[in-house]
Chains A and B, each alone.
Chain A
Amino acid sequence: MIKKQYLVVSILFIFLFTSCKETSAPIKITPDHLHTTIDKVVEIMIHDIFSPPVASRVFAYPAIAAYEIIAQNDTSYVSLKKQIKHFKGIPKANSEDQINYPLAAIIAHINISKKLIFSEEKLTKYRDSLYTVWQAKNEKEFNHSKAYGLQVAAAVTKWMNADNYAQTRTMPKFRVDANDESRWQPTPPSYMDGLEPNWNKIRTFVLDSAAQFKPVPPPKFSMNKNSAFYKEVKEVYDISNEISKKGDTSEEIAIAQFWDCNPYVSVNRGHLMFAVKKITPGAHWIGITKIAAKKDSANFNRTIYAYTKTAIAMADAFISCWDEKYRSNLVRPETVIKAYFNSEWKPILQTPPFPEYTSGHSVVSGAAATILTEIFGDNFSFDDNTEVAYGLPIRSFTSFNAAADEATISRMYGGIHYRSAVEIGVGQGRKIGGLVKKQLVLKK
């Protein structure tokens, strides 16, 4: 009996001892926590079918919340308060609380991401598995950090919800006018409606307005053989013929497919229609950000800094690009080539469902590459394995700008853009990147 009592006491003692030991240990948050979280969000966005502009918004707001939290605690980073539109900053943490800032940052990130994606249960499951580990590790630190993370998330959400996204849902659809040859028309095979025709009404982050870097208008529609427009159409057609001759293994096809980044490619086979879903252009550059941060061995704070600034530049890039798309409403090569050159013609990539000018991928690549170059330096070579999950090989680049240039030209190889859209587009993106780089001071 006595023996048994001793046993109980000793077990109790051991238990107390171990739990004391555990509560005292801080929860360690690594950059990988951030990468994994973002990967998870990307995965859900693919499932939920987010369009490129809407996806760019999903990258920006959670990152900003996380960044703001670490900026509270790391004097080498500056809050975005008053640097981005209508953002009044976040509440300060209670100094008596035991806050793990990176932990709070991850928690805020997940919380806002959950508000933005559709399939919440997938993210909840991921979150809860992390919570269980953290709670077991250090309950007090976890609880305090969680409370703060959620408090910040609430503040950022309030600001986020005033960005006009909800209002744009009820705004008019794109008006199709099949009799206007120059005007964009829905394209095969799904003939989807023009995507996000009111995206320019979304609040910008750094740009003073959606039209701040309004590009020059595209060449005027004309099928006169001497017109600039005709020549550009002809060029797309010629390139596609040339590539087709070279066959499926050509470098151009590899490039086009690598940068396709179309979140919803409809496939018709037989009676069956299904979607092949991929990441968006924004997600591709978020993937490159991860590769760069890892190669750079960036710590948690530097990693979140890189994600945040890149995401902001890309979000503004989409607003700027979409502003132009639904200003010029230019017809896609597929529509013109089928009408004038070859009714059987099909582009190598599926034409995405929005007007042609300027190229979204070019604008966003220009913007993202400018920011990544600012953070990680020029001539930063990297192996891009972002598309491996989608059955595509790794491609290596000597710099972010080189990658952006390839992404740009890939749209012509893919047969979905004319030259003006990609060349002027990438310039538009670099201007946006330049502005974000100059105007947003994140690093002291």
Chain B
Amino acid sequence: MNKYTCPFLVCIFLIIGCNKKAELLFKNPPSTKTGLTFKNTITETNALNILDYLYLYNGGGVALGDINNDGLVDIFLSGNQVKNKLYLNKGNLTFVDISEKANIKGNSSWNTGAVMGDVNGDGLLDIYVCAVVGINGFYGYNELYINNGDATFTEKAQEYKLDFDSYSSSAAFIDYDLDGDLDIYLLNHAIHTQESFGKANLRNKRNYQTGDKLLRNDGKTFTDVSESAGIFGGINGYGLGISVADFNKDGYPDMYVGNDFHEDDYYYINNKNGTFSEQLKEHFSHTSRFSMGNDVSDINQDGLPDLISLDMLPEDEVVLKTSQGDDNFQIQKMKTQKFGYHYQYTRNMLFVNQQDAGYLETALLSGVAATDWSWSSLFADFNQDGKQDLFISNGITKRPNDLDFINFASSEQIQKKIDKTKLVDQEALEMMPSGKMQNYIFKGAENLSFENKSNDWLTDKKTVSGATAMADLDNDGDLDLVVNNSNEEVGLYINQTNKKASYLKLKFNHTAPNTFGIGTKVYAYNNGKFQFKELYTVRGFQASSEPIIHFGFGLETAIDSVKIIWPNKTTQTLKKVVLNQQLTIKPENTKPFNEASLKGTSKKIFTAVKGQLGINFTHEEDNYTDFNRQKLIPYQVSDQGPAIAVGDLNNDGKEDLFFGGSKFKKSKVFFQTDSLYVEKKIEVLAKEAKKEDVVALIADFNNNAKNDLLIGTGGADFYNKSTPLLDTYFTQDSTGFTKQELPEYFENAAVLKAFDYDNDGDLDIFAGNNAVSNDFGATPNSYLLQNNNGVFSILENQPFQNIGMITDAVWEDYNGDGFTDLILVGEWMAPKFFKNTKGTFTEENKVASNLKGLWQQIMPFDIDNDGDTDYLLGNWGLNSKFKASESFPLRMYYADFDDNGSTETIVCNAKNGQYYPIVSFDEMAGQIISLKKKFTSYKSFAGKTIEEIFDKKTLKKARILEVHNLASGYLKNDNNTFVFIPFKNELQISPITTLLKHDFDGDSKQEILAAGNYFGVSPYHGRFDSFPGAIIYNEKSTELGNKIGLDFHQKAVKKLTIITLNGTQYLLATINNDAAQVYKIKK
């Protein structure tokens, strides 16, 4: 070896060493070592393919549990067409196939989910295997393998009356009546095609084959109590997911059922009397659409079970653009309003439990929305750091929703055959692309966040992975995974956390017949924090996990205490629990437990006022849909109403209310009387019904000691120089209101703010406008209206005249020079500061120019209590398909792309540094027909950047509008320089559209109340509808609206206002397309 070789080798070694990936969290020992050779092979035949059976690729089941009580967890796997297998764990991750002897191979021709539970209460795990029977020649029935205690089983489904021959997906164990034994919820699926949606009420008519069933354990047999218990069982129930948990923490288990396709998911709240009430619409603002598996865990450590429901949104740009997407706006409207379905969107949904109030839905914000064709979700603390992680299995043998297949490939192959033969041959099926995928895993983080760790923690092998279950297979304390793959050997994922972090495993030795303590709750306390878990073994999809509770505790060696709450609502506490062990706990020295005792002592600041003080105003939107006309715009302009203004309109010294109406709807006026508000018709105002009022101002503009009224008009329907777009001005004298001239401008209004900027004793107006009808993306003019004896004229050439799509404004002396300045916020722009020097405005750069947002509101408020004024800013929020950052802002290209005289907007997100249009090919090519010539297949378009879609010349003529930041937050004032600080994620769930400053809790300090939600986006974005509002006390302290008595879930709050009646202050919330709300403020 010469002297150069050695350093050379070292170099190579270093390079290899550098490139070597850190060890994966899960390793996959081969079947040659483990003996786990089970393979769910699907054999497609001419008589059986995805055309004949829609769930051909859903896969088999997996159940984990120690069937022979030897301390080692055994593995049961069901196969669709292949025989079931039972593997006995022999230690050291070696398994022996005992299927033959155990007598569990099965007699049904198409098996699905498999679950373990002690059905007969003898302390041994029995196995229930579901089957699809009665279609495609499938025969057999759901089989119940009763454990004989000697590693053999006897099939006794008939004896227990569990031998259903229907279309079953899975089953879950639940002691719903708390009588101490395990009842069963049987999850069935429809095969009914999408041919006709049918109305939602189809679910009321029970159907044996497709309907879910609740089966009460009566000791020796099970009784179908579905009907009397209030369980839906219709022909439209495509049940694929079931989770059991005491969602509302009242001591009785509830259920969430995920239904595929158009049928809503079901949220069954236990009525504590053997019946359930389905309350999905009350508690969930929207759900996943093609709901698959789901799972429950307390992800934010507030003691409430949170929920994920899986769907099939692809993360990959190519798959995304070649797959069928969401319904369009109109069809969704029809399904929700006409057919009675709830809002459903194609993506995973993460629901954060608020107990009695509606769930927050945060999947986009949390980063878990898009995991492609997903089946099983399992929450667990895989790395044992104290936060719940999330595993998601996914993949599909063939993608039947591939758009090229639907539109091009299929027809040419199928066309001639379809009428003649029932069959479509394999050749056509082959044209569907494969959907083999890497599974996903997310690391749980603070602030409702998850971090995608798929590449760091999991093998990158592409599989079709379905049913998944968890257990500690090697008894090293961490949780391993068993994944039933299609056409591939079963996946074994062995967790390598080992001794790097601490765990605690709890096994229950509960009173028979619920010997494993299903339904037991555990709180593990340490350092003033706690983790909460509830034992339900049927989780994810078509599977059941080891019947234990598992916690991770990072580097701790012991924790303060563990509180066990048994299913019968008794409790016992273990103190100073040493970690890294498995404890077997049986009920001892139990005390009665009251669930309500855990409820936080929340101080309700607001109480809804019955009768609304007479303010029975309901805003009703007109039928105009922006997306029918401006088909590519990112959000609507037409839904900014109603206007609300407070002021004395009848000169009795009491403040009255003006509510503006939408297009063709009359405005309404409520006069304040001694005890309540009374509606009063004012003819001259009603005459202006044609206009859509979005903002209004009551003040004495002409200094005649009587209030006048100024109304800003929007609606986006009228266009060009249509007079219904003009703002309106009424003055009042002793004879009443008279309409007055205003300067003519036709933009869609957003804000009117009055201030005597020139110190001449009358109120001038800043009229901020948001959009130009039919030309979204164009910059509208905003105006300074100068008041001369009650007559307004436009003061031309102001620096803010053509500054952007304004949403809000505030007159505020931000530089403390004694002159009131003007601050503007808007969409696709940064907050703008204009210094007032004796009536002359000049723009000042007070914030970084890369603070362009979709700003909705601005409110001055000293949030950090340092004596200067900070500015709170409502933005779009982070729970959105829009993505924006300083380096890769959200972009909107605005141009007449097809040279046909009307403009289009194309909004693009950056992915991996490249910009891709958010809209689908059909939406885009429907507007810009030349794209159909350029891209003759979806595949040719998919994955193309905006630069690849349009030539340079076309793109060059486009104006690019940008957004760097979507978070709501505040401009922190440090010596008159402003730095933006985002609010925490709870306040980023929806756009914040209104901010109100007031001393709500009577502590003599002002707080800010924030509210929002917004529905004017296409179904691809979904509605922003789960934000309950929030009170902001200071920089550190906020509280969600539902905890302080507000009910803004599923409401698009437009404006919060304080009104005073008889010296008492109330909160008035004005809501788009809904009834206004009045709250008493508790002080």
Contacts and interface: CB of A to CB of B under 8 A. Distances in A.
B628 A173 contact: yes
A119 B194 contact: no
Interface string A147-177: 0000000000000000000110111111111
A188 interface: yes
A270 B901 contact: no
Contact of B411 (A166, A193, A277): A277
Contact of B193 (A173, A179, A268): A268
B936 A166 contact: no
Nearest to A170: B902
Given A119-B936, A178-B334, A270-B54, A275 B902 contact: no
Interface stretch (B65-73, B466-474, B924-932, B991-999): B924-932
Contacts of A272: 50-51, 54, 400
B415 A276 contact: yes
Nearest to A270: B54
Contacts of A173: 330, 627-629, 631
A189 B196 contact: yes
B194 A276 contact: no
Interface string A31-58: 0000000000000000111000000000
A170 B900 contact: yes
B406 A269 contact: no
B900 A47 contact: no
Nearest to B193: A268
B51 A276 contact: no
Nearest to B431: A274
A275 B410 contact: yes
B127 to A, nearest CB: 28
B753 interface: no
B52 interface: yes
A173 B933 CA distance: 22
A178 B334 CA distance: 6
Nearest to A176: B330
Contacts of B899: 166
B333 A188 contact: no
Nearest to B328: A193
B628 A276 contact: no
B932 A270 contact: no
A167 B330 contact: no
Contacts of A267: 418
A185 interface: yes
Given A276-B411, A277-B411, A166 B933 contact: no
Interface string B324-338: 100110110110011
Contacts of A271: 50, 54-56, 400
B13 interface: no
B414 A48 contact: no
Contact of A169 (B191, B623, B927): B927
A270 B53 contact: yes
A264 to B, nearest CB: 8
Interface residues of A, number: 43
A390 interface: yes
B898 A277 contact: no
Given A118-B936, A176-B334, A169 B195 contact: no
A120 B193 CA distance: 36
B204 interface: no
A118 B932 CA distance: 6
B261 to A, nearest CB: 9
Contacts of A273: 194, 324, 400-401, 406
B351 to A, nearest CB: 26
B581 to A, nearest CB: 47
B926 A169 contact: yes
A169 B900 contact: yes
Contacts of B406: 273-275
Contacts of A433: none
Contacts of B929: 166, 169
Given A47-B412, A119-B936, A166 B900 contact: yes
B331 A186 contact: yes
A295 to B, nearest CB: 26
A207 B57 CA distance: 56
Contacts of B900: 166-167, 169-170
A346 B196 contact: yes
Given A169-B929, A275-B406, A276-B414, A270 B629 contact: no
Given A47-B408, A188-B197, A172 B629 contact: yes
Contacts of B928: 169
A176 B58 CA distance: 36
A191 interface: yes
B902 A167 contact: yes
B150 interface: no
Contacts of A177: 623
Interface in A3-23: none
B623 A274 contact: no
A343 interface: yes
Contact of A170 (B193, B411, B927): B927
Given A173-B631, A188-B195, A270-B52, A275 B407 contact: yes
Contacts, number: 125
A189 B195 contact: yes
A263 to B, nearest CB: 10
B361 interface: no
B920 to A, nearest CB: 13
A248 B926 CA distance: 38
Contacts of A389: 416
Interface string B407-433: 110111011101110000000000000
Interface in A112-165: 118-121
B927 A49 contact: no
Nearest to A187: B196
A303 to B, nearest CB: 28
Nearest to A168: B900
Interface in A323-377: 343-344, 346
B773 to A, nearest CB: 12
Contact of B415 (A121, A189, A269, A277): A277
Interface in B900-935: 900-902, 904, 926-929, 932-933
Given A271-B54, A274-B414, A276-B411, A191 B333 contact: no
Contacts of A189: 194-196
A119 B624 CA distance: 36
Contacts of A172: 628-629
Nearest to A174: B628
A166 B899 CA distance: 8
A377 B196 CA distance: 46
Interface in B184-223: 191, 193-199
B232 to A, nearest CB: 18
B625 interface: yes
Interface in B481-529: none
A175 B194 CA distance: 24
A47 B415 CA distance: 11
B405 interface: yes
Contacts of B331: 186, 191
Contacts of A48: 932, 936
Nearest to B261: A271
Contacts of B400: 270-273
A51 to B, nearest CB: 12
Complex A-B, nearest 9 residue pairs according to Cβ-Cβ distance, in ascending order:
A274-B410, A270-B54, A271-B54, A166-B900, A173-B628, A178-B338, A172-B629, A272-B400, A118-B932
Given A120-B936, A271-B50, A272-B51, 12 more contacts: A48-B936, A49-B407, A169-B900, A170-B902, A175-B623, A178-B338, A269-B52, A269-B193, A270-B53, A276-B411, A276-B418, A389-B416
14 contacts: A166-B898, A166-B900, A167-B900, A167-B901, A170-B900, A175-B624, A186-B330, A270-B400, A272-B50, A273-B400, A273-B401, A274-B411, A276-B414, A390-B416
Interface of B: 50-56, 191, 193-199, 324, 327-328, 330-331, 333-334, 337-338, 400-401, 405-408, 410-412, 414-416, 418-420, 623-625, 627-629, 631, 898-902, 904, 926-929, 932-933, 936
